[in-house]
Structure 1
Amino acid sequence: MNHAIIDFNDIYYSYADGKKAINGLNFTIHSGESVGIVGANGAGKSSLLMLLVGILMPTKGEIHIGETPVNSKTLPLIRQKLGFTFQDSDHQLFMTKVYDDVAFGPRNYGLDESEVNKRVINALETVGVLHLKDRAPYKLSGGEKRAVTIATVLAMEPEVLIMDEPTAALDPKARRRLINLLKGFNHTKIIATHDMDMVLELCERTIILKEGVVVCDGPSSKILRDGELLEQCSLEKPLILQDCPICGTK
């Protein structure tokens, strides 16, 4: 088995108003895994991701990335290992040119400009949007913005790719392009989403959250076929596994 790269050990988190978002999470993710994090609204998916990348800090418990604990002192090191894309691409793109958005991370870590340029070009080529490097991010389509946000992460050469609702607001063509792109990545992938069909296609493992607790963790091919379990968690089977509403066949 591949070595453990992420470990949640008895993690709790409550917001300032006292609302409990995460209630004792325990799980391990190994290098090279693709893991879907699913659950109804308010289940704790986004909170889990923000705890993982250090935007939030647990009120109890420890998170480790490899041998490194996630805390305020280790965040610079942690964020070199983890690449995080927000649900809203506009929260991640803030420069006047795409090139500068992708270059921001490498420049922030003090890399020389020749290395920065190499990383930017490689990242933009990888996601197929090199032709956008001189465009203003605010003029891009939703699918183009999503590709650029992934490029900003790839330019940092992370070990783990973490995505919050990556297909949200994408049209079908842009969604398919994104899924095909992610299929080609060898990174450890953690994807929080309501897109159950994408999870079935991309993630060999699924973790279901409900009220901040892991209620099921196992093979996607099994979990996403369990209609009773999914209904209990206010979820539905992927559309591809549902009967046709017109003819009743698969």
Structure 2
Amino acid sequence: MNGSVIQFQNTGRNFRGKWALRGVNATIAPGTICSVLGANGAGKSTLLRLLAGWLPVSEGRILFHESPMRPTAIHLRRQVMLLDDAGGPTRREVRSSVQELCDTIQNYQVDRPGIEKEVADWFEKLDIISVYKARPGEMSKGQAYKIAMISLFVTSPHVWLLDEPFSAGLDASGLRILDEQMAKHAALGGIVIFSSQWPEHARRLADWALVLHEGNLSWSAAPDTLPTVEETPPALQAVLQGLGPE
């Protein structure tokens, strides 16, 4: 796996005259699990979508392979995958989720012998074989997220982006497998970035943490050096408690 770093250089995104993210400067090294912490509306999803190339930056840039990430940089976007289904519908159609899995494998140009068996094995490990046996229709949010996880595991791009994965409806087994695969990917030199409102997730899983508050980067440090609520200025207390305005 390559050893490219991610660099945010004065990165910002403006929506209709309002800055959702501004002036972010940070570097994330290969082999890192990074948590992006912040309250609702802090800019976490915007940061991940910019890094995935889903949105263009309004100012500054994001460098990956020393090249700017942008929606038209297809060769870079294939090395990054964002799972953002946590905020989606409570239930999803089985057929659409499975089709998205197939489309993702094709879009990421993954064509190796035995990939069909890999997919089947993941369905078994994640205990979602039953979705095939059930009548066509809906499945739970957690089951849909597990199918999205399979697309991430079998394509295994260099950078994994997970938007609020701990709110995605996963059961205990699914959470355990996700934790294991995140650690394995980072150990192989990949980068994992996940967002959360709770600093406990960062302290448990991450090597590095970025704290966003109202679109600004307020803290960048190893999770074990994050301040406690009592030590934190009032403006950041709500962020570290996972509270704050919508």
With the shorter chain as reference, the TM-score category is: 0.7 to 0.9
Q: Which residue of 2 aligns with 1:143?
A: 142
Q: Which residue of 2 aligns with 1:84?
A: 82
Percentage of pairs with the same residue: 23
**Cα distance per residue 1:125-172 (max 9 Å; x no partner):** 56x23524625796322322222221122232211211111122637x
Tell me which of 203, 210, 214 is aligned to 1:211.
214
Q: 5+ unaligned residues in a row in structure 2: which ranges?
A: 186-190
Confirm or deny: 8 A CA contact 1:46 1:164 kept in the other structure: yes
Determine whether 1:235 maps to 2:239: yes
**Cα distance per residue 1:29-72 (max 9 Å; x no partner):** 11111111011222111110111111111111111222332123
**Matches of 1:82 and 1:137, distance apart in 2:** 31
TM-score by length of 1: 0.78
Q: Which runs of at least 4 in structure 1 moved beyond 4 Å after TM superposition?
A: 109-116, 135-138
Q: 5+ unaligned residues in a row in structure 1: which ranges?
A: 239-250
Query: Alignment partner of 1:235: what SS?
Result: helix
Paired residue type of 1:81: Q
**Matches of 1:136 and 1:229, distance apart in 2:** 52
Going from structure 1 to structure 2, the CA distance change for 1:100 and 1:113 (only over 3 Å counts) comes to farther
The two structures, once aligned, show a CA RMSD in angstroms of 3.1
Determine whether 1:161 maps to 2:152: no
Paired residue type of 1:85: L
Paired residue type of 1:189: V
Where does 1:28-47 land on structure 2 (aligned, <5 Å)? 28-47=27-46
Confirm or deny: 8 A CA contact 2:44 2:195 kept in the other structure: yes
**Matches of 1:29 and 1:219, distance apart in 2:** 12
Going from structure 1 to structure 2, the CA distance change for 1:230 and 1:119 (only over 3 Å counts) comes to farther
Q: Report the count of equivalent residues.
A: 231
Confirm or deny: 8 A CA contact 2:162 2:194 kept in the other structure: yes
Q: Which residue of 2 aligns with 1:7?
A: 7
Using CA pairs under 8 Å that are at least 6 residues apart, name the structure with larger relative contact order, 1 or 2: 2
Where does 1:63-82 land on structure 2 (aligned, <5 Å)? 63-74=62-73, 76-82=74-80
Confirm or deny: 8 A CA contact 1:11 1:26 kept in the other structure: yes
Tell me which of 177, 180, 183 is aligned to 1:181.
177
Q: Which moved more, 1:200-209 or 1:64-73?
A: 64-73
Going from structure 1 to structure 2, the CA distance change for 1:144 and 1:94 (only over 3 Å counts) comes to closer
Q: Which residue of 1 aligns with 2:202?
A: 199
Confirm or deny: 8 A CA contact 1:43 1:209 kept in the other structure: yes
Going from structure 1 to structure 2, the CA distance change for 1:139 and 1:214 (only over 3 Å counts) comes to same
Q: Which residue of 1 aligns with 2:50?
A: 51
Q: Which residue of 1 aligns with 2:188?
A: none
**Matches of 2:175 and 2:31, distance apart in 1:** 17
Going from structure 1 to structure 2, the CA distance change for 1:13 and 1:153 (only over 3 Å counts) comes to same
**Matches of 1:179 and 1:195, distance apart in 2:** 16
